Amino acid sequence: MDGDDLLDDARRLARRTRVEEGGGFRLSDHDPAGSVGDRLGKERAKEAIAAGVRRLAELQDRLYAQDRWSVLVVFQAMDAAGKDGVIKHVMSGVNPQGCEVHPFKAPSDEELDHDWMWRCARVLPSRGKIGIFNRSYYEEVLVVRVRREILRAQKLPPSLVTERIWEERFEDIRAWEKHLARNGTRILKFFLNVSPAEQKRRFLERLEDPEKHWKFAEADVRERGRWDEYMQAYEEAIRATSAPHAPWHVVPADDKWLCRTLVAATIVEALEGLDLQYPKVSPERRGELDAARRSLLEEA
């Protein structure tokens, strides 16, 4: 089976990760390890990813040339779930001119002086480009919800911090994503679903490898103590904000290569659904190009 066939198989698997209607969503229905039948193995997964990278490069070139659609790819996950690795491998063949990656860490003083969507809104992808958010506005209904001290630091008028604040933020997200979709932004949201056991293994791996020490922060271990709270926050966020125009994909992340393959297959399939075409040349423009060609051929 060649890479293209493996990529087709990955697309079929990836469709099972899609959540369009969140009403009955339960995170417990999604195994972080995937099923045995999902396992491609590292070498076969690499072939599928390579095929996906080639196809994605072709589609991104058309996206850029057509200059009508933009694509927003959102990654959310617990620490060590593999967001950086997915971005590195899946987007490795995309022209940097047509792709921008934005990581969102703790907000700056300037960002805290604006509404909570501002820092993400100002870096949305323009038409013809793919924008990747490594974390995103969803942090405001995830980490901020679990760690209430962050909310207290956001300078909101006290009268606006009510018991409905999370539902209000879900309303804002739903409205914003619908607005983006109506204006030509294709939205893909990925939750990389890693298990606490696999996260622990990866943390220990980082601690044992001096070249990975920079990736480790003591706070990551403290956050493990709130695992159940985070899973409840993720479940409610996915349930409240899944929609056909902005679906979530709950991707098993314990197997890094399976995870990367499924993300690549999902992005490829979404771009293929946009029917991207190179701009057609008008008869007048064709005449101008023919004249330019003749002029070049006639040069001494």
Tokens of 199: 């996260």
Say whether 194 sits in a helix, a strand or coil: coil
DSSP states of 134-178 as a string? ES-GGGGGTHHHH-HHHHHTT---GGG--TTHHHHHHHHHHHHHH
Per DSSP bridges, beta strands 185-193 and 248-252 are: parallel
Give the model's confidence band at 1: pLDDT under 50 very low, under 70 low, under 90 confident, else very high: low
Rounded to whole angstroms, the Cα distance separating 194 from 27 reads 11
Q: What is the mean pLDDT of the chain?
A: 93
Structure tokens given for 57? 């490069």
State the average pLDDT over residues 62-66: 96
Place 25 in a pLDDT band, splitting at 50, 70 and 90: very high
Count of structural domains, the chain:
1
**pLDDT range class, residue 38, cuts 50, 70, 90:** low
Q: At 279, which CATH number?
A: 3.40.50.300
Give the separation between CA 83 and CA 278, rounded to whole angstroms. 31
pTM of the model: 0.93
Range of the domain at 64: 3-298
Contact 134, 75 (CB under 8 A): yes
pLDDT at position 39 is 67
Q: Can you give the pLDDT at residue 36? A: 54
Phi-psi region of 34 (alpha: psi -120 to 50; beta: other; left: phi over 0): left
